[in-house]
């Protein structure tokens, strides 16, 4: 018997600048922990810098680079190829969607659609082009977002019910291949004394030991509602004069780079000055896991005020819950929000409601503990060992399908070492959902730490 060997294709494996890259790194670690040999496949440059099991397969993810990657992947003796698909991870290019025919005859293909329904038809013939794509999808030819990855994939993994609904609507013949996978938090919790950390962090921030501490965690981005958070906090200063707002995350990402990142930070600093909050707002820049864990455990409330709302596929939101932080987040449609106390859901772009929500968490002695208990129940379903075991079961399923005969399937099952207990997640059928702003939503989610 031998270890199952999987190649996780993540175009730009750069966790410092991309949430999907960080997810891929976490998944590889978790698969290794249960006995799956998981290789992260990326560019030569980023593989060299990764400092962990990473293999360079190409110089770039343009069309010519895809051919180079396919040749390299065929030489790796993989059992399964698993593409982690998001626009940011492949330089906002659909070229990776042309790779499946180049891998023909090789290991079976699995695709995780971290972002989906991001492509939009523009221009004079936009409606006609969209209609043509719909025909191509229903006939099983091409996907408008992922090109050949969808028709060639043996499993399509999605991280939320909205994407599951879109897959099944576009590809009714692939309904049985869509599987919803719950993701895990992207920050491991440091074992520390919470009271000591609360005092120490507040001292570092130059405020008193009982000062209110509000935290946002994740890559900073123009669509994450951070100016609104700064404004909301300014209205709370009368009741909480020593409060601090910590924006814990880097400005630089694949979606916001170079001068754009510099301008973003300057704009947030300008927002703080405009609301007389410059002494109360701290922008940390990118921090290592241990530092983020300390900040989360010191915080009174975590806030994710995204302009288009947040879903439970946000690993940053899950990190807050895993650190027992009472959490406030925006939801596109509050009627569809999860019906539990784990997160206090509010409508997007509503400063007054945001102020009231933060004040409620800070002032209500009983509410934070209720939210912590509910958050622990949510996190119990989002643990990384469970997610890794689910992936391992899916990998074995697709290998058995590819093997064909009953005898061959038995040989596959007997050939690999897997966890004793693996449960397979069945895709949920949910109502169709659309954000209405495809590219902007793709960029927002790509940096959300899914951060």
pLDDT surpassing 90 at residue 345: yes
**pLDDT-derived band at 335, boundaries 50, 70, 90:** low
Q: Bigger pLDDT: 334 or 277?
A: 277
Say how far apart CA 376 and CA 381 lie, in whole Å.
Answer: 9
Mean pLDDT of the chain, nearest integer: 87
- pLDDT per residue as tens digits for the range 32-81: 999 999 999 999 999 988 766 799 999 999 999 999 999 999 999 999 99
Q: Highest mean pLDDT: which of 249-258, 377-386, 431-440?
A: 377-386
Place of tokens 């989906």: 116
Establish whether domains 2-184+426-446 and 194-379 are of one fold. Answer: yes
* Fold observed for domain 194-379: Rossmann fold (3.40.50)
pLDDT surpassing 60 at residue 3: yes
Q: Determine the average pLDDT of the residues in 354-371.
A: 96
Domain ranges of the chain: 2-184+426-446, 194-379
Q: What is the pLDDT, as a whole number, of residue 410?
A: 57
Q: Bigger pLDDT: 21 or 335?
A: 21
For the ranges 236-245, 248-257, 271-280, the lowest mean pLDDT is seen at: 248-257
Task: For domain 2-184+426-446, give the CATH number.
Answer: 3.40.50.2000
Q: What is the pLDDT, as a whole number, of residue 223?
A: 94
pLDDT surpassing 90 at residue 352: yes
pLDDT surpassing 80 at residue 7: yes
- pLDDT per residue as tens digits for the range 413-449: 555 655 554 444 333 333 333 333 433 444 444 444 4
- pLDDT per residue as tens digits for the range 164-181: 989 999 998 888 899 999
Of 305, 292, 300, which Cα lies nearest the Cα of 355? 305
For the ranges 87-91, 169-173, 265-269, 441-445, the lowest mean pLDDT is seen at: 441-445
Q: Determine the average pLDDT of the residues in 228-253.
A: 95
CA 46, distance to chain mean position in Å, is 20
Q: Bigger pLDDT: 323 or 251?
A: 323
- pLDDT per residue as tens digits for the range 105-145: 999 999 999 988 887 777 777 788 888 988 898 888 999 99
Say how far apart CA 329 and CA 311 lie, in whole Å.
Answer: 9
CA 253, distance to chain mean position in Å, is 14
Q: What is the 3-state secondary structure (H, E, C) of the chain?
A: CEECEEEEECCCCCCCCCHHHHHHHHHHHHHHHCCCEEEEEEEHHHHHHHCCCEEEEECCCCHHHHHHHHHHHHCCCCCEEEEEECHHHHCCCCHHHHCHHHHCCCCCEEEEECCCCCCCCCCCCHHHHHHHHHHHHHCCCCECCCECHHHHCCEEEECCHHHHHHHHHHCHHHHHHEEECCCCCCCCCCCCCHHHHHHHHHHHCCCCCCCCEEEEECCCCHHHCHHHHHHHHHCCCCCCCCCEEEEECCCCCCCCCCHHHHHHHHHHHHHHHHCCCCCCEEECCCCCHHHHHHHHHHCCEEEECCCCCCCCCCHHHHHHHHCCCCEEEECCCHHHCCCCCCEEEECCCCHHHHHHHHHHHHHCCCHHHHHHHHHHHHHCCCCHHHHHHHHHHHHHHHHHHHHCCHHHHHHHHHHEECCCCCCCCCCCCCCCCCCCCHHHHHHHHHCCCCC
Q: What is the pLDDT, as a whole number, of residue 109?
A: 97
**pLDDT-derived band at 97, boundaries 50, 70, 90:** very high
pTM across the whole model: 0.81
Q: Angle, nearest 10°, between helix axes 438-446 and 19-33?
A: 50
**pLDDT-derived band at 161, boundaries 50, 70, 90:** confident
Say how far apart CA 304 and CA 319 lie, in whole Å.
Answer: 12
């Amino acid at each position: 018997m031998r270890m199952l060997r999987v190649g996780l294709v993540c175009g730009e494996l750069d966790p410092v600048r991309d949430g999907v890259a960080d997810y891929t790194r976490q998944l590889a670690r978790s698969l290794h922990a249960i006995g799956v040999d998981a290789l992260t496949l990326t560019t030569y440059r980023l593989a060299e810098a990764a400092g962990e099991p990473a293999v360079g397969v190409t110089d770039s993810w343009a069309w010519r680079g895809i051919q180079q990657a396919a040749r390299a992947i065929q030489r790796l003796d993989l059992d399964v190829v698993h593409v982690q698909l998001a626009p940011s991870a492949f330089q906002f290019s659909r070229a990776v969607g042309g790779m499946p025919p180049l891998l023909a005859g090789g290991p079976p293909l699995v695709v995780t659609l971290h972002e989906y329904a991001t492509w939009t038809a523009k221009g004079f013939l936009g409606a006609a082009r969209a209609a043509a794509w719909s025909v191509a999808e229903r006939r099983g030819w091409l996907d408008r977002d992922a090109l050949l990855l969808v028709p060639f994939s043996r499993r399509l993994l999605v991280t939320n019910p909205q994407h599951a609904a879109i897959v099944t609507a576009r590809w009714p013949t692939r309904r049985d291949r869509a599987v919803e996978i719950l993701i895990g938090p992207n920050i491991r919790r440091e074992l520390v004394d919470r009271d000591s950390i609360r005092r120490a962090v507040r001292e570092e921030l130059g405020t008193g030991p009982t000062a209110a501490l509000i935290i946002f965690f994740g890559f900073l981005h123009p669509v994450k509602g951070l100016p609104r958070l700064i404004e909301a906090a300014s209205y709370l200063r009368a009741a909480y004069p020593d409060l601090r707002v910590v924006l814990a995350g880097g400005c630089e990402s694949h979606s916001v780079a170079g001068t754009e990142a510099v301008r973003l930070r300057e704009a947030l600093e300008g927002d703080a000055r405009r609301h007389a909050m410059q002494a109360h707002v701290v922008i940390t820049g990118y921090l290592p896991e241990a530092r983020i864990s300390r900040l989360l455990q010191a915080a009174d409330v975590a806030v994710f005020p995204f302009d288009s709302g947040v879903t439970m596929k946000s690993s940053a939101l899950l990190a807050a819950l895993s650190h027992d932080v009472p959490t406030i987040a925006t939801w596109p449609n509050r009627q569809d929000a999860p019906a539990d106390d784990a997160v206090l859901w509010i409508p997007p772009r509503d400063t007054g409601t945001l102020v009231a929500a933060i004040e409620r968490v800070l002032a209500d002695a009983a509410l934070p503990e209720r939210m912590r208990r509910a958050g622990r129940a949510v996190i119990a379903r989002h643990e990384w060992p469970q997610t890794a075991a689910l992936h391992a079961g899916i990998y074995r399923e697709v290998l058995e399908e590819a093997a064909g005969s009953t005898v061959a399937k038995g040989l596959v099952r007997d050939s690999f070492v897997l966890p004793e207990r693996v449960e397979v997640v069945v895709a949920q059928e949910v109502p169709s959902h659309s954000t209405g702003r495809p590219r902007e939503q793709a960029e927002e989610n790509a940096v959300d730490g899914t951060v």
